[in-house]
Amino acid sequence: MKKTLFCLLLIAQMGMAQQAKTQNYKYGYNGMELIAQSKKGTVVVSTFNSKTQIRAEIAQKVYDLYLNNKIKSNTSITIEGADANVIGKCVIKKKDTLTTVNFYYEKVCWNSGLTEIYKKNMG
């Protein structure tokens, strides 16, 4: 009897357990998130294909990494946020005193277990 009850509880727990889920998304927010000026010039941080809930936080973290010389252009990086970790590609362009840091979201791994992958041309 105890074994049967234990098995039923175990099966019920497994059924209610949160399972990791992966979804594709096609639309995200594109735009300038941060403009910073210093004696050296102006830095503009833009995000592409971003999720609106976390775009400001992620842009700030991209800027902080740029200031600390921890990112390089055309590289894939992981940004750890409070609600999600974002994997994306960073492209840095400089012209005179203007620097643009563009971050392209590729994958968002939410703390809830949901993973969203950006797909440009979904049917």
The domain locations on the chain are 29-118
Is residue 19's pLDDT more than 70? no
DSSP annotation of 70 reads: -
Sorted by sequence, the CB contacts under 8 Å of residue 112 that are 6+ apart come out as 18
Give the tens place of pLDDT for each residue, 45-87: 999 999 999 999 999 999 999 999 999 999 999 999 999 999 9
DSSP string, 72-97: -TTEEEEEE-SSEEEEEEEEEEEETT
